[in-house]
Every structure is written in structure tokens, then in C-alpha cells.
Amino acid sequence: WINIGNMSHSRESFAATLLANGSVLVTGGWNFDDIEIHRSTELYDPSTRIWTPTGNMKHGRQAHITLLLTNGKVLATGGMIPAILENDCELYNPSTGAWTSTSGMTHKVELYTACLLTNGQVLVTGGSKFYSVKSESTAQLYDPSKDIWTTIVSMYHARQGHTASLLKSGEVLVAGGSSNRTSLDSAELYNPLQGTWAIARSMNQSRERHTASLLTNGRVLVIGGANGDTILNSAELYDPLTGLWTTTSRMNYRRKSHTTTLLKNGKVLVTGGQIFDSHESESSAELYDPSSDIWTTTGSMNHGRRDHTATLLTNGKVLVTGGRSSPIILNSAELYDPSTGFWTTTNTMISEQLKHAESKPKNANLL
């Protein structure tokens, strides 16, 4: 791992998006020393390893989600300020560095998922009201061409802290999460052409705060998370052709609040997370090889991290930013080189950030 440049502001609960030009955009968040939620945003340039400020958002926001749209702009959805959930949204134009307001979501939620569909629309599912254990089953669609949000048919199960994966068929697999403090094993499929939900087979393990990665063979790898208070090292695969879940070999470490990144060689890189029923952050990393169903450890990061982001750059390296290394919120960043298994420290981010969301489009920048 390689250390790279720091962000300019301390942040937690921020978002990161890879832009079409290969830069990474980081938005919003907050840290313990700030009274206000950040409106500030900044860009990371992989060629220079330098962070630079860009245009401020219209509204400060944390715990939001950002997505790169097919028109090259970045959509920032929802988020919250202390004691208030937001449903307002805005768009970032990389060519001008400016933000413009858009229509707002139809429901105010947190701990939801947002997924870019093959038709260019955005699907938002589930979540909860402000710090509520009661989950939502609502679903909503954003049409960028019309700047309109619409409520669509609800999911079969209310859930928060779940995952949503776009399959090669264009359907969306929603899996796991929690409702009323109970971890879920249920899964369901959204068909954008029909606008309907269908019950999928349940996972072998109830889990929340896990990750899901679409593999090159079209299967979905679900990793780790927690079942209630128990942190998991189990993993399983969903096969869209059969609709079946199969258990894979286990990770070397139990993890939740970790990241997974599909590398160009088809392997999956897992980094950091919370590995025990404590608040300590983990620096270890490991690789999953789908062809052999084997987990192997790789070089550890320079910092323990959880609730961080990991972004695959166009050069095949992985940029990891921010997160928490208890009790410190980090503004540091580092690079992983799959060819060597080493991490290099980069310049730290301008801001320390934790629990940020990441969107990985077909480019190499991070928002």
C-alpha cells in the first residue's frame, strides 16, 4: 500500500465517486470538531496524487449517496443534518465544477441503497427514518432526462443496511439488511422493464452491513457483515441463472463496514472493516479468487480503517480513502498495487472522512 495526499477537510459520512476523466470526487460529510455539515467537495487527481477543492454543494449533507449518471454528471441524493433527514438532491457538472439543484426524492430515508439502471435511471430502495429501527419497504425512481422522482411499487420486505446489485440481465438483486433490529436473509429482484419485484431465494446467512460484488462471470459475491451482534467471515454466491445461493470458503477475518473491489484480474480485494465486537478498525486485506474459491491474505494497509471507500482506478490500482481508525477519523489515502500486493501512502485528503459512500462508474475519479 502507498500513502498518497491528504484531503483538505476532516470528514465522516461522506461520499466518493469515480468520474469519467479518472479523477475522484469527494463530497460532504462532517467531523467531530465541526458544528455544520460540510458543503465542501474536493477532487483527487491520480496522475499527480494531489487533492484540490472544487465547487461547494448547495446544501451540506452527510450519509448521502452519489452516483455518476450516463450524461457524465454526478447525482447527490438525500443525506442528513443533525436530527433532520433530507430528500433534496443536486447535480455536479465536472466540466464547470458547479452544482445545481434538482427535484427531491419522494421519501426521506437513511441507510438506503441507490443503483444506476441500464436505462440511465436511478433506483433507490429501503432505508429508515432518522435513527429508527423500523425499516422502510419503499422504492423510488429518478429519471435524469425529466428530472422527476416517482414512487414505484414497494419491496416485499422492509430493510435498511442492505445491498443492491445490478445484474447483467438488467435486474437488480436486493439482499439482506435489517428490520426492527433483526438481520435478514431474504432477497428479492427488481425488473425495470416490468416495474415489478419478485421474491428471490434467501441467503444461507442473515446479514447486514455486508458487501456485494458482481463478478465477471455474472454471479454476485456477498461477503461478511453482521448477524445481530455477531460479525461474520462467511461468504456466498448468487447465481442469476439458477437463482441459487451457494456457500463459498470463508474469509481469514471476520468483517463488517469493510470494502470490496473487483480487480481487473477478476479477483476481489477486501480491505479493513470492524473485525470483532469492538470498535477497533482492521488494517488487513485479503483476496478472493473465484476460479479456485480460495481466500489469500495480501499486504496490509498502513492504517486500520472501517467505513472507508475503495475505488478501482483506470491504471488497475485501488485508491482507499478516509474512514475511521478508532477513535480517529482519517483524511489519509493510500494506493494498492495488485501486481505487487503492496500499499503506498498518498497525500492525505483535505478533510478527514468516515462512513462515506462510493459510486464506481466506468471512469477513474472518485466523488
Which domains occur in the chain, in start order? 64-306+324-342 (2.120.10.80)
Phi/psi-derived region of residue 243, left when phi > 0, alpha when psi is between -120 and 50, beta in every other case: left
For residue 305, what are the CA distances in angstroms to 234, 340, 364?
A: 20, 21, 22
Which phi and psi (to 5°) does residue 240 adopt? -60, -25
* C-alpha span between 332 and 207 (Å, rounded): 29
Q: Are 260 and 213 in contact (CB under 8 A)?
A: yes
Q: Is the whole-model pTM more than 0.75? A: yes
Query: Where do we find the cell 496490509?
Result: 300
Q: Are 324 and 283 in contact (CB under 8 A)?
A: no
**pLDDT tens, residue order, the chain (367 aa):** 766 777 777 777 788 999 999 999 999 887 766 667 889 999 999 998 888 999 999 989 988 999 999 999 999 999 887 668 889 999 999 999 999 999 999 999 989 999 999 999 999 999 998 777 789 999 999 999 999 999 999 999 999 999 999 999 999 999 999 999 999 999 999 999 999 999 999 999 999 999 999 999 999 999 999 999 999 999 999 999 999 999 999 999 999 999 999 999 999 999 999 987 667 899 999 999 999 999 999 999 999 998 888 989 989 999 998 888 877 888 888 999 999 999 988 766 655 555 556 655 444 443 3
In angstroms and rounded to an integer, the radius of gyration of the C-alpha atoms of the chain is 19
Residue 241: how many other CB atoms lie within 10 Å: 9
Residues shown for the chain: 367
Q: Are 77 and 104 in contact (CB under 8 A)?
A: no
Identify the H or E element spanning 188: strand 187-191
Q: Is the dihedral of CA 290, 172, 246, 252 positive or negative?
A: positive
Q: In what order do the strands lie in the sheet with 211-214?
A: 211-214, 220-223, 235-239, 244-247
